[in-house]
Structure 1
């Protein structure tokens, strides 16, 4: 399968290709685990603690990918690895169906984490770099529609395949087949290889990001990663555990994605009006409320409002944060994004293990949700110490 010539690619193709790459590498290679988890546990006896362990292993792969992205300077290699990640995303989804051996599952989840890093960091960096070279507004809101769409695809896809196939392994294979639909445009319309820059120029661009600013952002992004992964891993399971809500888990997960897709535009607009830091503080606050709601009440309304609030904020946090650091390192935005994402990935390794163990010990996720809210508040406190970025409403 060949890639379209860079000269013939249209802007909409690069953007749509990037969106499809996120649907594949994150929406399916990562998020399919969430709606398929209850059936996997029911049919294989996978415990809550083991499920949390698999999620942590996935994010260990994500951190490994982020480390590689933070280390690689050669733009050609970043482009090649992004393409390899698209192929591997399909294999990791299908691979989950091939065995019930825990080490095999761990391997596939780890490789899936590597794919997520290529989609989130290398793909986003290539798209953002292309936008800046084209003189377009350097924002990632449109690109990150792929995260919300990926959630919708994983939720509706899991519901659809469950109506046809009841065996968990068949469901994973069917999800891999769905991934082929997104693989084709993602592969053909990959962002062109960016022009090479000298190591000195790239180093100078990254040096513009002060150490204090980067460390503060890393701390707040750790909190964001904690809030993200708890809901991303356990939303369906939390809903299904409530006796009155059994069978509504897929609906809650679909709402996350439906809320996420339009709000990526809204957060860009908010940042243009009030500045990036204030926009991030607002997103953190709303996500904290969405985490607390299911802990306060076991009602369907609380579950759905929590899902809507989570979906409406987590992509905004990711988009605003990565675009902000990418603009500060325009010659190698993917590398700067990867350095910051290491803290996000660290939280994604630690949080599922802690939450899974707490749920295993108590039989409920409420304690883990309250802990997550506390971590998010600490992240807000760190953000509040940063100088306010000037609003960019006037930017072309």
Structure 2
């Protein structure tokens, strides 16, 4: 009973940390974007650059995470990251200067990496050491809850608060979330064995597997970032959907909240790579529905599909990374996120440029869907590489490790 209670508290710390660093510090920007454009004079291209700068911060954090092996240092940086998430949120409401906003978005990106990678790695390490199932579906529900919560909060607050006051309100929400996120995650155990006495050993995949996996995850990053950043603005500009953008963003959060748990079950039945391929195909459909069919129904259904798949892919990939590196999960998580993060820098900047040149965000969605299709093909090729590596291992000639 005590073990299960501790597990719930640790997973709860992860959920609250993700709501803070991704919901408050990161995703609140998306539903607030149209309001900042109307009230604070933020331009379309500048909005894209701010999103790209946020991902540059996230990418920098991922690089740091990939280089650190010391669990104690990771724990310290995780806690510092949660505090800076609140500071970066407050800074958004303190100025209308683009440079201040850019610095805030970069710092928010760093804090997102601290919660998403260092925090996730610490939690997965705790689960493995305490002989719990190494699945992160419950933990990653925090991302969907963060998205849905931010969309709901903006929908409510917009009736009485301007853009600046809403950033300050999110800062207060972040302070509340900070308490359990810090208090419920225990200090890391640095021993090399689990509670049952089993030795923890890393089993890295082959270099070819890693290269293809990173390329596929880059494609997933492009597919994710365009909709995640611009979906509210996209919906607001579609015929007959003015004023409906926040509802669609809320649908993404609702779809995302249970998604990781669902994909954990799916992966148990059909395997991790097959689950990733299925999620990628469904995500392509979700991306294209709003522009190919139109109407609020298609937009909401597409948002539910998108929310129910993009975070499932992230959860599956990071869980796989933790299984390959149980003693230092953030090592491969950081490498994979470098690939995902690079896409998240390129995607918003290109989409902002396309929107400025063509007067519409639609081209960005078609680009995202095309790149996702390429990523799906790479995942299919990865299945063959996995079979080849398994066969070589059985024959006693394993591939050289990365």
TM-score range, shorter chain: over 0.9
Q: Distance in 2 between matches of 1:208 and 1:310?
A: 30
Displacement after TM superposition at 1:164 (Å): 2.2
Q: Which residue of 2 aligns with 1:87?
A: 83
Q: Distance in 1 between matches of 2:118 and 2:295?
A: 40
Match for residue 222 of structure 1 among 218, 221, 241:
218
Q: Distance in 1 between matches of 2:189 and 2:158?
A: 42
Q: Distance in 2 between matches of 1:211 and 1:365?
A: 37
Give ranges in structure 1 of 5+ residues lacking alignment. Answer: 1-5, 199-203, 391-396
Q: Distance in 2 between matches of 1:127 and 1:315?
A: 17
Q: Which residue of 1 aligns with 2:196?
A: none
Q: Which residue of 2 aligns with 1:231?
A: 227
Are residue 175 (structure 1) and residue 170 (structure 2) matched?
A: yes
SS at match of 2:148: helix
Match for residue 335 of structure 2 among 310, 314, 339:
339
Give ranges in structure 2 of 5+ residues lacking alignment. Answer: 194-199, 388-402
4+ runs of 1 displaced by more than 3 Å? 6-9, 204-207
Do the aligned residues in 2 keep the contact of 1:61 with 1:112 (CA within 8 Å)? Answer: yes
**Aligned pairs for 1:134-283 within 5 A:** 134-165=130-161, 167-196=162-191, 208-283=204-279
Q: Distance in 1 between matches of 2:231 and 2:140?
A: 20
Q: Distance in 1 between matches of 2:227 and 2:298?
A: 14
Match for residue 284 of structure 2 among 288, 293, 303:
288
Q: Which residue of 1 aligns with 2:392?
A: none
Do the aligned residues in 2 keep the contact of 1:31 with 1:150 (CA within 8 Å)? Answer: yes
Displacement after TM superposition at 1:205 (Å): 5.3
Q: Which residue of 2 aligns with 1:298?
A: 294
Q: TM-score, normalised by structure 1?
A: 0.92
- Tell me the alpha carbon deviations over residues 201-247 of structure 1, each in whole angstroms, 9 at most, x when there is no partner: xxx95562211111111011101111111111001111111241111
Q: Which residue of 2 aligns with 1:327?
A: 323
Q: Distance in 2 between matches of 1:386 and 1:369?
A: 25
Do the aligned residues in 2 keep the contact of 1:230 with 1:355 (CA within 8 Å)? Answer: yes
Please give the root-mean-square deviation of Cα atoms over the aligned residues, in Å: 1.9
Q: Distance in 1 between matches of 2:129 and 2:4?
A: 16
Do the aligned residues in 2 keep the contact of 1:223 with 1:379 (CA within 8 Å)? Answer: yes
Do the aligned residues in 1 keep the contact of 2:126 with 2:188 (CA within 8 Å)? Answer: no
Q: TM-score, normalised by structure 2?
A: 0.91
Displacement after TM superposition at 1:79 (Å): 0.2
Of residues 108-117 and 169-178 in structure 1, the stretch that sits farther from structure 2 once superposed is: 169-178
Q: Distance in 2 between matches of 1:117 and 1:348?
A: 13
